Each structure stands twice: as C-alpha cells, then as structure tokens.
A and B are shown apart, each in its own frame.
Chain A
Amino acid sequence: MVSTFTHPARGEDLPVTTTSQAVAPDRDASPSPTRYAAEESERSAVVLEPRHLRVTYGRGANAVTAIGDISFQVRAGEFVSVVGPSGCGKTTLLKALSGLLTATSGEVLVNGQVAHGVSPGLAMVFQEYTRSLLPWQSVRGNVEFPLRGAGRRRKEIAERTREALEQVGLQDFGDKYPWQLSGGMQQRVAIARALAFRPTVLLMDEPFASLDAQTRADLEDLLMRVHAETGMTIVFVTHDIDEAVYLGDRVIVLSHRPTEVKQVLGVDIARPRDQVRTKADPRFVALRTEVLELILAEKSTQQDQGHLD
C-alpha cells in the first residue's frame, strides 16, 4: 500500500519556532484506505507543544544555556524524530518536555494545558534500559508498576499488561527477570511498559543507542508496527540521522547549544517502511543527506564560535 501522503518542496520547511504549521502539506485529496499517522497529523489535535522553552544550568558567570529557545508542535498520532549535533541538549529537551526538569522559562502544553511538573499523560523510554527496569521485579511486574495505585482494577491491569507484552512479542517472558533477557528484549519490556500505560505522548530518549545494529533495526521496525497499530504519538530523540528519517513523519533538526530548532523536515516516504527498500529510496537518501548537511553545518559553526565541548 502506498501512502497518499505527499510533502511539498522542502523549501517550505520552516523553522517551527515561527509557525505552528511547519508541516502543511498539500495532500492528495483522494481518501486512502490505510490510515497513516502522518496523514492524520495535520487535522488532529496538537497534543504536545513546547513554547519558547529555555533551560539554563547554573547561575551568573557560570551559567550555561543548554536550550536557547525551542518551540514546536506535535499532533496526535504523529511520529516526530528529534535529531541534533552531539552535545546539543537532546536529553535536556526531553526532560523539560516530560516535566522531569523545570524549564528556566517558557512552557510546555500537553493537550492544550500548561504543564506544571510531570504531566500525567506522558511516558518515557530511556536509553539505559538496565537502569530503567527494576531488577527485583519480573518483566510483568515492571510493565505493571506504573499502572498500579491509580484505582485501576487488578483485572484491567493484567489485561493491559498481557496485551502490551504481546505487542512487543514477549508474552512468554512475563515471569522472567529483566536481567535474564538480552538487551533488545529488555528495551522491549520498557516499550511494553509505555504501551500499557497508554500515554498521550510517548517520549523516547535514544532508546536504541546502546543496542547492536541488527537488534536496533528489529526494534525500529517493531516500534513502527506498534505505532501503526496503536496510533500513539511518539517523540523520538536520536543522534542517528538514518534512524530519525527512517522512523519519523517529521524530523526536527536541532542546532548546537544554546539549542534551537534549526529546521523541520517532513518525511514524505510511504509507510509501511522497510529496512531494505526504504533505505534505498532516493527520497530517503536525499532527506538523510539534507539532515546530515544541516548537522555538519551546525558542528562547523559551533567550532567557529569556539563552543567545543
């Protein structure tokens, strides 16, 4: 099935700071029988929106501005990749989005409401799965613990957990401890935990960065399948340009510190995508080249300014 989603010339990709319609593609009018998140995105509601987010560490002369000014919009069902030069504060951005970190100024809107502290509708998958999963809890216990204590019925929790483990292919491993599983399986447990939580937005902080290449490719495809099945909104931070383009409906390219949104690219590549064919697709190659050039340009200006870290 080929998506009817088409993207305008990339000359229209505006820095998102200046507009809430960074991606306003002239869509093919004919309805498509297959639902793609990207298609939905521009008519569905904005679920996550940082507005002029700024994060400064320290005070006075020692103050370091990690995030200069970040604004963008994420719509329901979208898969947004965030990529930037190394050390550009990607993790800081995610922490500010989730509310783990209080922004120095600016605000984050979740479902249109200004978030104070950690927003209830968000889930996060961390890069460090060994630390994010509790070693004294079984796989099932790890998926269940965020669901407990919110007045949910035991039966509902068990049902959601079973379903989430099935979605990541771990239905037979519920009784194992996470450390009895491989790295890729452990990160699948973390993904299942997020799925069972059914968040408004799933934030992912370089979730596949510490996995080997084959496992990473498997998990990328698993994540795309789950995204298609659930229609969940995902913000996926990565330093891997291929991964960002391969997975995203849009790619937000960040600048070096103090971080701002440098550009937003719409990924006009049909879903379902495929590790072999999509990555050989001229559009994919063109997009990844463009992102790479943007990031290399960022790196060189950073060096010119003597901001090397």
Chain B
Amino acid sequence: MSAKAIRMLLGLVVPVALLAAWWFASASGTSPYFPPLSDILHSFTEVWTTDRMATDLLPTLVALIAGFAVAAFVGIGVGLAFGLSGRLRRDFRPVTEFMRATPVVALVPIGLIVLGPGKPMEIALVAIAATWPILVGTADGVRAADQVALDTARVYGLSARRRLFSIVIPGAMPQVMAGLRIATAAAVGTVIVANMLGSTSGLGYMVVTAQQSFNILETWVALLMIGLVGCALTALVVIVERQVLGWHRQWRALDHSSAS
C-alpha cells in the first residue's frame, strides 16, 4: 500500500472513532436530548428524501450560493483595486477595519428592517460576511506581486493590462483562494443565523422550530445537514483551488520536503 493511502486511512481513524463513540454512547443512553445516533441517521434519511429538501434545504443553499457568489465578485474586484492602489487602501482603511471587526450577526436586525425577511436579506448578509476575507486576501495577494517578475514583464514590453492578467492576478491566486476558503465558514454561519432570526424557511429556521417544538431528533438532523452543507461548500472551493493552484500545491510540497 502506498504511503499516501496509509496517510488517508490514518486520517479517517479519528472521525470514525468519534462516530463509533457517539453511536455506542447514545445507543444505550436514556437522555432525551441525545437520541441514539442510529435514530438520528434513520430520521435523517427519512427527512431528506421528502419535499423537505425543497422547503428547508434549498432556500438555505440558494441564499448561501448567491451570497457567496456576490462576495467573490465584489471581494475579488474591490480587493484588486485596493491591492493596486495604496491610496484607495489607505483612504478606506478605517471603513474596512470597522466592517471587518463588526460581527455580521449584529447586522441581521438592520437587514430585517431594511430588506425585510426573506431571500434578499439573507443573500445580502451572506455577501457582507463573506466579502471581507476574500477582499483582504485578494488585496494582500495583489500587493505582494513580485517586483522582479513585474520588472521582467515590463522589460519584455507587456502592457499594464497583460501584466495584470499574466503576473499580478496569477501571483495573487494563492491568497485569493485562501480568502475564499475562510469566507465559506463565514458564509455558512451567517446564512444559518439569518435563517434563524429572519426567515420562515431554511435550515436555521428548521433547527429553531424543531427545538421549540421539542423535536430533539429533528434538531440533530438539521444540525447534521448544516455540517454537511458547510463541508460541501468548502470542498467545492478546494476543488476549484486544486484546478487553479495545482502548481502551488506541488511547489509548497517541494519546499516543505527540501526544508525538512
């Protein structure tokens, strides 16, 4: 067996052990708050094979994906501008610092007042939450563009436009992707809270209503799905990252192996 396969198997040890522990500890448990895992999984398959997919899962996914797309667009666009212009960056620093330090959850009430409950509010909040890591990552990546590489391109007569697209942006991609990865967590958290506080559908709404009607089993079922949605979004970003940054992963692996 290859070393890689062994490492992957070892990586599964902890999650499998935790699931097994949960399974056996809850199987004989009497606490109503911790139903047996077998029951949760059984209920999970039941719930998510009905039209609950459309009423509870889909609204959350739509808000999440739409908000994330807006965040990626705005974050990369504005991040580029900030990375290229020191002046813009300095002028907007108080605003960006303030916005970054404000938890987006605190904006939900304002969002509700301005946009009312529903999709636009959810999308807007997800977008706001996810924009900052992407924006900051992009701006840092653009700023870090290698001066020698840029000088090389200039000597060889590349236009500013081509320097941007063939030097600056590819060079910033590792940090843009890191920003996108961080943004997934912020986006998932925000969409759930927005569901909880300002919606009549979605996973967050499902958790709250299940909990309020003492449907403990369904609370767990919803929770499990939230975790899966988060993992799925992260996996999506990682897949894109592997496509875009194949070189970077190999490069880092090489650096690491030669350093150790």
**Which A residues between 99 and 121 are near B, CB-CB below 8 angstroms?**
99-100, 118, 120
Instruction: Establish whether residues A132 and B156, one from each chain, have CB atoms under 8 Å apart when the complex forms.
Output: no
Q: Contacts A123-B156, A136-B170, A146-B156 given: A128-B251 contact, CB under 8 Å?
A: no
Instruction: Given A124-B155, A126-B152, A131-B149, answer yes or no on A179-B251 (Cβ-Cβ < 8 Å).
Output: yes
Per DSSP, chain B at the interface is helix
Name B122-171 residues within 8 Å CB distance of A.
146-149, 151-159, 162, 166-167, 170-171
B170: min CB distance to chain A, Å: 5
A78 to chain B, nearest CB (A): 20
Any chain B CB within 8 A of the CB of A14?
no
Q: Mark A196-215, 1 if CB is under 8 A from B, else 0.
A: 01000001000000000000
Number of interface residues of A (CB under 8 A): 26
Bound-state CA distance A104–B134 (Å) is 41
Determine the distance from Cα of A99 to Cα of B250 in the docked complex, in whole angstroms. 36
Determine whether B14 belongs to the interface, using a CB cutoff of 8 Å to chain A. no
Q: Please indicate the chain B residues that have their CB under 8 angstroms from the CB of A146 in the complex.
A: 153, 156-158
> Contact at B152–A124, with CB atoms within 8 Å?
yes
- Chain B contacts with A in 221-260, Cβ cutoff 8 A: 245, 247-248, 250-251, 254
**Chain A residues near B250 (CB-CB < 8 A):** 177
Q: A135-B247, A177-B247 are in contact. Are A98 and B148 (CB under 8 A)?
A: no
* B-chain residues with CB within 8 Å of residue A132 when the two chains form the complex: 148-149, 152
| Cα distance A146–B167 in the bound complex, in angstroms | 12
Pair A134/B155 contact, Cβ less than 8 Å: no
Contacts of A150 in B (CB 8 A): 157
CA distance A149 to B167 in the complex (A): 14
Q: Are B251 and A118 in contact (CB under 8 A)?
A: no
Q: Using A128-B148, A134-B167 as known contacts, say yes or no to A149 and B154 having CB atoms under 8 A apart.
A: no
Task: Say yes or no: A131-B155 contact (C-beta < 8 A), given A136-B247, A149-B162.
Answer: no
- Shortest distance in angstroms between B226's beta carbon and chain A's nearest beta carbon? 36
Q: For the complex, give the distance between the alpha carbons of A289 and B183 in Å.
A: 63
User: Which residues of chain B are near A197, meaning CB under 8 Å?
Assistant: 156
Most chain B C-beta atoms within 10 Å of own C-beta, residue among A122, A149, A150, A180: A149
CA of A36 to CA of B146, assembled, Å:
38
**Contact across chains for A118 and B149 when beta carbons are under 8 A apart:** no
Q: Could you write out 22 A-B pairs with CB less than 8 Å apart?
A: A100-B151, A100-B155, A118-B154, A118-B157, A122-B155, A123-B156, A124-B155, A131-B147, A132-B148, A132-B152, A134-B166, A134-B167, A134-B170, A135-B248, A135-B251, A136-B247, A145-B156, A146-B153, A149-B158, A149-B159, A180-B254, A203-B155
Q: Which 8 A-B pairs have the closest CB atoms?
A: A146-B156, A131-B148, A124-B155, A136-B247, A132-B152, A131-B146, A128-B148, A136-B170
